[in-house]
Amino acid sequence: MQAHAELLRRVTGGENFAQALLKDYKTAPISEKEMAMLDYSVQLTVDAVKIKPKDNQRLSSFGFDDTTILQITLSASWFNYINRVADSLGIGRQDEV
């Protein structure tokens, strides 16, 4: 998460904003549309099987089209994948020898 927060700090230039998202995105100063996108991404991460058509319809109600919903899904899935690869190989971890 720290690496993602660092990227966010660089992109937005906002240390406070990045820290608010890192602490708890649900209390961060983001729009309802951004909250819906993050809720979807979290559900995909926690248990993708529980994502139902109503979840995609919710994203659509905030103005996300099918292509954007696919991009959100692919981005979240890719980060889940690459984080698991890094975790399994101990990349970025300070294990004791």
At residue 68, the pLDDT reads 98
Helices in 1-97 by DSSP H: which ranges? 2-12, 15-23, 32-47, 53-61, 66-89
- Which pTM value belongs to this model? 0.80
Question: Does 2 have pLDDT greater than 70?
Answer: no
* Domain range list for the chain: 1-28, 31-92
Read off the pLDDT band of 91 (50, 70, 90).
confident
Asked whether the beta carbons of 69 and 33 are under 8 A apart, the reply is no
Q: pLDDT by residue (tens digit) across 43-89?
A: 999 999 999 999 999 999 999 999 999 999 999 999 899 989 988 99
Question: Does 41 have pLDDT greater than 80?
Answer: yes
At residue 87, the pLDDT reads 87
At residue 92, the pLDDT reads 72
